[in-house]
C-alpha cells in the first residue's frame, strides 16, 4: 500500500518519466522535473488560494489574474507529462511566478515582506529555464523590483531608502551568486560530458575487442565465479549460453576428477596469492591443455587456459582467465605425426624395396595378395571352427613373413612377426572371442596398408623415366667397380685407375644386372691382382706407375658386348701351364697346348695364379665364378692378351629383351 | 659460505646417487645425508643441521607429502628449503606439494641445469 502511494507521489513529481540512474545528466533532468512539479503544485495551489481569497474580498480583477496564472501552471503540469519540451512548461510556471513575485513586491505586504518572495526568483528561473532565459527574466524582475522600491509613490507602500538599497543589494547578490553557481556547474557538465564521451569511446573499443576475440576471456572472483563481462567466445568455447555467476570449477566437473578439481582450486588460490613466481605458475598450470567435456553433454574439446591475477578496486584479487580452443591444432599435430610416421615407413620400405628385383617383387606381392585373400575367406567362413581358422591364418601369415624376410623387408617382416606371435597365442586358446577375431582382422588391415605402400612404391619406381633410373644404375655400377679397383690396389700396394671407354645408354635395362655386376667385380679384381704390376716394376719397363683398366659396354642387335682390358703384364702362358700341371688339371702327356686351351683352364674352380689368398682375390673362385655366371645368362667370354702389354676379356651376353618377348608370347 | 648439508630422501638408492652426482658435478661444496623413507628423514632432520631437503614424492611408510606436512608443522623447519622431486605426469602432485609448503619442485629426470635454476632461486629468497 505504502509503496503504491510512494509510487504515485514519485510519478507525480517526476511527471511519470523514466530516468537512467547511471546517466548523471539524466539525473540532473530528474531533479529539474521534481523542482518544477513541486513549484507547480505549491505555486499553483497558492495561486488558486489567492484567487479564492480575492474573490471573497471582492477583488475581481485580482482574482481573475490569480486563477488565470494558476490555470497556466496547471497547463504546464500536463504539458510536462506529455512529450512536449521541458522549457515550455518551465515558461508556463516561471513566468506566472515572476508576475506573482512582481505583484507581491508591488503590494508591499507585511512590513514590505512581499519583496522577500522575489529573492527566490533568480535561483528558480536560472535553474528551470537555464542560463539564457533565466538570467533575462531575473534581470527583468530585478529592474522592476529596483524601480518599485526606489521610486516613491510607485508601489502601494512607501519603502525607506535604506530598505530599498538593501533589498536591491540582496537581490543582486543572489542573482550574481546564482549565475556564478550555474556557470560553474555548466563548466563541470561540459567537462563531465567530454569525459563521458572519452570513456564511452574507450569502452566501445574494449567491448569491440572483447566481442571479436577468438579466444575466451573472463574474470573469476574469489569464489571462482565467472564475472558478467565475459567475452562471447568464452561462452561459445565452454558451450554454456550464459556464464555470468557460474563457478568455473563447477563447469569442469565432467572433465576432471574430484582430486584434480581440488588441485585446480588450489592453483587458483596460488595465482591470487602472488607468492609463487610466475614461471613456476605457468609450469604447473593444471589446465594448460586438457580435454573439456561440457557438463550437459556435447562434443568434448581440447582447451588451453592461462591465468593471471588482477586487482579490482574493491580490494578483491580476481583472476583473468584466457581460454583457447586447441582441438583443431592438436588434431592437426596428431595427423602430422601420423603422416610423418607413414612417410618414415615408406622411406624405410623404399630402401628395402630398391634392393629387390622388381620382377621378384611382383611375385611377392601376388603371393601376399593370394595368402591374404585365403585368410580373409577363412575368417569370413563361419563354418570353420575358430581355432582351426587361427591355425590356417597362422600358416598364411607365416608364409607371407618368410617371403618378406627372404627379400630383406625388415619393417614388414617385423610387423608380420608380431601378428604371427599374437595368432600363435590364439592358436593355443580353446575359446577365442569375437574380440580376438576382430583384432586379427584389424591387424590384417594394417598388412594390407603396408602392401599398398609397397605397391605404390613399385609404381613410383617404374614411373621414373626409365632412362634416369638406369643411368643411375650405370652410375652405381661404375662407382662400385671403381671402389673394388681402389680397394684391391691399396691392398696390393699398386696404383690403378678405371676408365670407361664406352657405355651404351640404357644398356643395363636389357642385361642381367646382378650377374653382370658380379662378373665385372671379379674381372676388375682379377686385373688388379694378376694384371697390373707394382709401380716400380712398371716404371722399369717404361710404363706409367699407375695402371689403367678400361671398360666398355656396347650392344649389337641381340647381345651386350662388354670389354674389360688392363695394361698390365699379360698372362704368362708358361706359369699357367706349370700351375695347371701342379693342380693336376693337365698332364704332361697332353702335348703342346694352344693359348686358348690354357686360358680355359683359368676358369676352372680352384685355379689361381696368385701367390697368396686374401679377402679380395686368390681363393681360386674368381674366374670360375665368372664362368658360372656367364653360363647362367648364356654368355660367352674370349680372352686376348699380349705379354707385358696387358689382357683383354671380351664378353657376349644375350639381351633380356628377347627373353621378355619370349615370355610374353609364351 | 661453508659446506651445506643436504638431506636426500628417496626410496631408490640409484635415484639418490643420481641426485648426489648431479649435485657434485656442479662443484657446490656440500655434505649429503640420505634417507630412504619419510620416517627416517624426519629422524635425520631432528639430529642434523640441514640446509636443504631434496624429497621424493612416492615413498613407502611415510610419503613425501606426509613428511612435508610433519616437517612444516615444526616451527624450527618453517623456512627450511624443501624441494620436491616428482615424475613428469604429476602436475597435480606439484600443486598439492606447493600448497603444503614445498619450496619448489623438480620434475624428473633431474639434471644440472634445472638444479642450477632452482638453487639460484633459493639464494634469491
Which of A256, A263, A268, A272 to probe the B interface (max B CBs under 10 A)?
A263
What integer pLDDT is reported at residue B124 of this predicted model?
Answer: 47
pLDDT tens profile B40-73: 898 999 888 899 999 988 777 788 888 899 999 9
Contact residues on chain A for B91, CB-CB shorter than 8 A? 263, 284-286
Q: Which of A339, A389, A400, A415 is nearest to A364 (CA)?
A: A400
pLDDT tens profile A81-128: 888 888 898 998 899 889 888 888 888 777 878 889 899 999 999 988
Return the C-alpha torsion angle A451, A456, A457, A461, nearest 10: 140
pLDDT tens profile B67-105: 899 999 988 888 899 998 887 666 788 888 888 889 988
Q: Which of A236, A175, A234, A230 is nearest to A207 (CA)?
A: A230
Q: Cβ contact (<8 Å) for B95 and A277?
A: no
Q: Cβ contact (<8 Å) for B91 and A276?
A: no
Mean pLDDT of chain B: 84
Contact residues on chain B for A261, CB-CB shorter than 8 A? none
**Interface size, chain A vs chain B, as Cβ–Cβ contacts under 8 Å:** 27
Contact residues on chain A for B114, CB-CB shorter than 8 A? none
Strongest mean pLDDT among A140-144, A459-463, A554-558, A644-648: A140-144
Chain B nearest C-alpha distance from A267 (Å): 6
Domain B4-121 falls under CATH 3.40.50.2300: yes
Residues B115, B84: Cα–Cα separation, whole Å: 12
Higher-pLDDT residue of A652, A392: A652
What integer pLDDT is reported at residue A171 of this predicted model?
Answer: 94
pLDDT higher than threshold 90 for residue A251: yes
Cell numbers describing residue A264: 585446480
pLDDT tens profile A558-573: 889 999 999 998 887 7
Residues A184, A182: Cα–Cα separation, whole Å: 5
Chain A nearest C-alpha distance from B110 (Å): 16
Contact residues on chain B for A255, CB-CB shorter than 8 A? none
Q: Distance of alpha carbon B60 from its chain centroid, rounded?
A: 16
Nearest CB partner across the interface for A263, out of B95, B105, B121: B95
Q: Cβ contact (<8 Å) for B92 and A286?
A: yes
Decide: helix, strand or coil at residue A575.
Answer: helix
b/e map of A575-588 (b: 16 or more CB within 10 Å)? ebbebbeeeeebee
Contact residues on chain B for A281, CB-CB shorter than 8 A? none
Q: Cβ contact (<8 Å) for B95 and A270?
A: yes
Q: Cβ contact (<8 Å) for A277 and B92?
A: no
Where would I find the beta strands (DSSP E) of B1-125?
4-9, 30-35, 52-56, 82-86, 104-107
Chain A nearest C-alpha distance from B47 (Å): 31
Where would I find the beta strands (DSSP E) of A255-401?
290-292, 301-311, 317-325
Contact residues on chain A for B98, CB-CB shorter than 8 A? 270, 276, 280, 284
8 A C-beta contact, residue A144 and residue A126: no
pLDDT tens profile A185-203: 889 888 988 998 999 999 8
Amino acid at each position: 500500500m505504502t509503496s503504491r502511494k510512494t509510487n504515485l507521489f514519485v510519478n507525480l513529481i517526476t511527471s511519470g518519466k523514466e530516468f537512467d540512474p547511471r546517466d548523471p545528466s539524466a539525473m540532473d533532468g530528474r531533479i529539474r522535473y521534481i523542482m518544477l512539479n513541486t513549484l507547480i503544485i505549491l505555486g499553483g495551489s497558492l495561486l488558486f488560494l489567492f484567487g479564492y481569497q480575492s474573490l471573497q474580498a471582492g477583488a475581481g480583477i485580482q482574482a481573475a489574474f490569480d486563477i488565470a496564472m494558476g490555470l497556466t501552471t496547471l497547463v504546464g503540469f500536463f504539458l510536462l507529462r506529455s512529450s512536449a519540451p521541458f522549457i515550455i512548461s518551465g515558461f508556463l510556471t516561471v513566468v506566472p511566478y515572476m508576475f506573482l513575485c512582481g505583484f507581491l513586491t508591488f503590494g508591499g505586504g507585511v512590513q514590505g515582506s512581499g519583496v522577500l518572495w522575489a529573492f527566490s526568483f533568480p535561483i528558480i528561473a536560472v535553474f528551470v529555464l537555464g542560463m539564457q532565459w533565466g538570467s533575462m527574466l531575473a534581470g527583468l524582475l530585478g529592474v522592476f523590483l529596483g524601480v518599485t522600491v526606489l521610486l516613491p509613490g510607485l508601489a502601494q507602500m512607501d519603502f525607506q531608502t535604506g530598505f530599498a538599497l538593501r533589498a536591491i543589494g540582496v537581490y543582486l547578490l543572489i542573482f550574481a551568486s546564482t549565475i556564478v553557481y550555474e556557470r560553474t556547474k555548466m563548466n563541470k557538465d561540459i567537462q563531465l560530458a567530454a569525459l563521458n564521451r572519452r570513456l564511452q569511446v574507450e569502452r566501445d573499443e574494449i567491448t569491440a575487442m572483447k566481442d571479436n576475440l577468438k579466444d575466451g576471456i573472463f574474470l573469476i572472483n574469489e569464489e571462482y565465479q565467472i564475472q558478467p563481462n565475459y567475452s562471447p567466445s568464452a561462452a561459445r568455447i565452454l558451450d554454456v549460453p550464459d556464464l555470468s555467476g557460474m563457478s568455473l570449477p563447477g563447469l569442469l566437473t565432467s572433465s576432471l576428477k574430484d582430486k584434480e578439481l581440488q588441485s585446480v582450486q588450489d592453483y587458483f588460490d596460488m595465482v591470487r596469492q602472488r607468492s609463487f613466481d610466475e614461471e613456476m605458475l605457468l609450469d604447473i598450470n593444471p589446465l594448460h591443455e586438457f580435454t573439456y567435456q561440457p557438463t550437459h553433454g556435447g562434443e568434448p574439446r581440447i582447451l588451453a587456459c592461462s591465468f593471471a591475477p588482477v586487482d579490482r578496486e574493491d580490494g578483491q584479487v580476481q583472476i583473468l582467465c584466457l581460454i583457447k580452443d586447441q582441438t583443431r591444432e592438436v588434431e592437426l599435430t596428431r595427423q602430422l605425426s601420423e603422416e610423418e610416421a607413414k612417410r618414415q615407413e615408406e622411406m624405410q620400405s623404399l630402401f628395402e624395396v630398391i634392393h629387390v628385383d622388381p620382377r621378384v617383387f611382383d611375385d611377392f606381392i601376388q603371393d601376399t595378395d593370394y595368402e591374404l585373400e585365403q585368410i580373409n575367406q577363412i575368417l569370413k567362413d563361419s563354418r570353420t571352427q575358430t581355432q582351426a581358422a587361427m591355425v590356417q591364418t597362422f600358416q598364411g601369415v607365416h608364409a607371407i613373413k618368410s617371403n618378406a624376410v627372404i627379400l630383406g623387408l625388415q619393417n614388414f617382416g617385423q610387423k608380420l612377426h608380431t601378428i604371427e606371435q599374437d595368432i600363435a597365442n590364439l592358436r593355443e586358446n580353446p575359446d577365442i572371442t569375437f574380440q580376438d577375431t576382430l583384432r586379427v582382422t584389424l591387424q590384417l588391415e594394417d598388412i594390407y596398408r603396408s602392401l599398398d605402400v609397397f605397391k605404390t612404391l613399385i609404381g613410383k619406381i617404374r614411373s621414373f623415366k626409365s632412362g634416369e633410373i638406369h643411368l643411375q644404375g650405370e652410375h652405381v655400377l661404375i662407382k662400385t667397380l671403381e671402389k673394388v679397383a681402389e680397394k684391391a690396389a691399396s691392398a696390393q700396394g699398386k696404383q690403378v685407375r678405371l676408365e670407361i671407354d664406352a657405355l651404351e645408354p640404357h644398356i643395363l635395362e636389357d642385361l642381367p644386372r646382378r650377374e653382370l655386376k658380379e662378373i665385372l667385380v671379379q674381372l676388375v679384381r682379377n686385373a688388379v691382382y694378376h694384371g697390373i704390376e707394382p709401380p716400380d716394376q712398371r716404371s722399369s719397363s717404361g710404363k706409367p706407375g699407375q695402371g689403367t683398366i678400361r671398360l666398355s659396354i656396347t650392344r649389337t642387335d641381340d647381345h651386350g658386348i662388354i670389354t674389360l682390358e688392363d695394361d698390365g703384364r699379360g698372362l704368362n702362358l708358361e706359369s699357367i701351364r706349370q700351375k695347371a700341371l701342379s693342380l693336376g688339371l693337365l698332364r704332361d702327356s697332353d702335348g703342346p697346348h694352344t693359348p686358348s686351351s690354357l686360358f680355359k683352364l683359368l676358369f676352372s674352380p680352384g685355379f689361381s695364379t696368385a701367390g697368396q689368398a686374401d679377402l679380395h682375390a686368390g681363393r681360386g673362385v674368381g674366374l670360375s665364378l665368372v664362368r658360372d655366371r656367364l653360363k647362367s645368362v648364356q654368355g660367352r667370354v674370349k680372352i686376348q692378351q699380349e705379354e707385358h702389354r696387358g689382357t683383354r676379356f671380351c664378353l657376349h651376353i644375350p639381351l633380356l629383351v628377347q627373353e621378355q618377348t619370349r615370355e610374353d608370347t609364351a | 659460505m661453508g659446506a651445506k648439508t643436504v638431506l636426500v630422501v628417496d626410496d631408490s638408492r640409484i635415484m639418490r646417487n643420481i641426485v648426489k652426482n648431479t649435485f657434485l658435478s656442479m662443484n657446490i661444496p656440500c655434505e649429503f645425508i640420505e634417507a630412504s623413507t619419510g620416517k627416517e628423514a624426519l629422524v635425520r632432520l631432528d639430529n642434523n643441521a640441514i640446509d636443504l631437503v631434496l624429497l621424493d614424492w612416492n615413498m613407502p611408510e611415510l610419503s613425501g607429502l606426509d613428511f612435508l606436512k610433519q616437517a612444516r608443522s615444526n616451527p624450527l623447519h618453517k623456512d627450511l628449503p624443501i624441494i620436491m622431486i616428482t615424475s613428469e605426469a604429476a602436475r597435480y602432485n606439484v600443486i598439492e606439494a606447493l600448497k603444503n609448503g614445498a619450496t619448489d619442485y623438480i620434475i624428473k629426470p633431474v639434471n644440472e641445469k634445472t638444479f642450477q635454476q632452482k638453487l639460484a632461486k633459493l639464494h634469491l629468497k
